[in-house]
Amino acid sequence: MTVSIDSSKKNLTLTKSQEAFTAAKELMPGGVNSPVRAFKSVGGQPIVIDSVKGSHMTDIDGNHYIDYVGSWGPAIIGHADDQVLAALSETMRKGTSFGAPCLLENSLAEAVISAVPSIEMVRFVNSGTEACMAVLRLARAFTGNEKIIKFEGCYHGHADPFLVKAGSGVATLGLPDSPGVPKGATYETLTAPYNDFSAVEKLFESNKGGIAAVIIEPVVGNSGFITPKPDFLSFLRKITKENNSLLIFDEVMTGFRLSYGGAQEYFGITPDLTTLGKIIGGGLPVGAYGGRKDIMQLVAPAGPMYQGGTLSGNPLAMTAGIHTLKRIKEPGTYEYLDKITGELVQGIVNAGKRAGHAICGGHISGMFGFFFTEGPVYNFADAKKSDADKFARFFWGMLAEGVYLAPSQFEAGFTSLAHTSDDIKKTIAAAEKVFREI
């Protein structure tokens, strides 16, 4: 899809970004190191970032933006926070990687265990993908079963067994599956539409005794922002228990985002296992999986399920995580995020409706999304009814007004403690203007 952008009219000069991206395309596949960054679903070329601070980003042409991507979730206290940077430079003076135990691992593990209801023991890894890959092996090792149920439009990283009806970049690029994934790798992956009670029941009936786990984004962020229907998560808790299967919450995105204890605390449903990432690394590469002690004791070297990592528990990632969690644990964090994000989404949706567009949206704490459709949106099929071309025009219009949204209809947005009421007001004013133009 091509989107024409009259950048001179919009007062947006992107010359340096365009030169840098043209060069990047010769150096890296598609010019990027992660697909959604390439702006494929909104057309045009990505802007190349020079620096970030608080709620803002600056590109290499010197344009400033209010940022609602937040590095895809980690930046909950704002970018390049002074205290986190100070702590990082102190840690850095002692070295960047030990490949041996360090005290910082204990500190972050204690913080995670005391915060997340399901986690009695945790293993740190380097990305959300790695966490999901390992948790699946663990669920299979514990139950002795091989089948898993995942939901259409949910993204659990790019490991082979999850690249079936996946969200995020897979949805954005319209790849139903990926070439290179052997049939055998996804043979045991069963899928159901999100929020579909009877589809899950049917899968349990037709695969009696064979299902190791149900894995779910407890609030979806990877097909846009979609919340679970009342009772859907408690239904999954019940049916997994009845069938001796495990319930896994993939909280890579929702962990420490919806509340300090994640979606499981927010909804009061405790899974057996949980994956984390993003926020717990405070902007450095990290992931984690954890859960009941009897299950986690299977992980090597405590038990026989192998999983390891050269840079796992890296002191820099641990430091950024510890200081980020310390900050968001302070009273008022989630009330503030909920307030500003509610105002933001309501403001955008109202402005869109006033301009005559079909639009719906929602938020929980500092996570939000909106679709160009009347809604309601309960699953990926509903999300796909959103007018993607209109979203692309909206995206570019907002960019020209100095607002950086996720460059895809199928991604959630994020606010941070650094976003001010003024940022929100400016964003809504920009949306009012852009809605009239698209």
CA 48 to each of CA 1, 14, 75, 392: distance values in angstroms, whole numbers, following the listed order: 21, 9, 18, 18
User: Is 250 a catalytic site residue?
Assistant: yes
Q: Among residues 17, 63, 118, 127, which is the contact residue for ligand PLP, using CB under 6 A?
A: 127
For 363, left (φ over 0), alpha (ψ -120 to 50), or beta?
beta
Site for ligand PLP (CB under 6 A): which residue of 12, 121, 253, 351?
253
Candidates 31, 44, 157, 366; binder of ligand PLP (CB under 6 A) is: 157
Q: Which amino acid is at 344?
A: L
275, 248 in Cβ contact below 8 A? yes
Length of the chain: 438
Q: Shortest Cβ contact with ligand PLP: which residue? A: 128
Enumerate residues 366-405 that contact ligand PLP by CB under 6 A.
none
12 vs 276, which CB is nearer to ligand PLP? 276
User: Is 194 designated active site?
Assistant: no
Q: Is 156 in the site for ligand PLP (CB under 6 A)?
A: yes
Residue 411's contacts (CB-CB under 8 Å, 6 or more residues apart) are 36, 69, 72, 168, 172, 221, 222, 224, 369
Instruction: Rule CB under 6 A: say whether 153 interacts with ligand PLP.
Output: no
Does 217 engage in binding with ligand PLP (CB under 6 A)? yes
Give the β-pairing of 189-192 and 211-216: unpaired
Report in angstroms how near the CB of residue 323 gets to ligand PLP at its nearest. 20
The site string for ligand PLP over 64-103 (x = CB under 6 A, - otherwise) reads --------x-------------------------------
Active site residue 278: yes
Q: Is 250 in the site for ligand PLP (CB under 6 A)?
A: yes
With CA atoms as reference, report the closest residue to 188 among 167, 169, 203.
203
54/167 with CB nearer ligand PLP: 167
Determine the 3-state secondary structure of 186 from DSSP: helix
When binding is defined by CB under 6 A, the residue of 31, 35, 46, 128 that contacts ligand PLP is: 128
Query: Looking at 45, 129, 379, 409, which residue binds ligand PLP (CB under 6 A)?
Result: 129
If binding is defined by CB under 6 A, does position 410 make contact with ligand PLP?
no
Query: Tokens 């430079």 sit at which residue?
Result: 89
Instruction: Locate the DSSP E strands across 40-81.
Output: 49-53, 56-59, 64-67
- Residue 219 contacts by C-beta under 8 Å, 6 or more apart in sequence? 225, 226, 227, 228, 253, 254, 258, 263, 364, 367
Query: Interface residues with ligand PLP (CB under 6 A)?
Result: 72, 127-129, 132, 155-157, 168, 217, 221-222, 250, 252-253, 277, 287
Q: Known catalytic residues?
A: 155, 250, 278
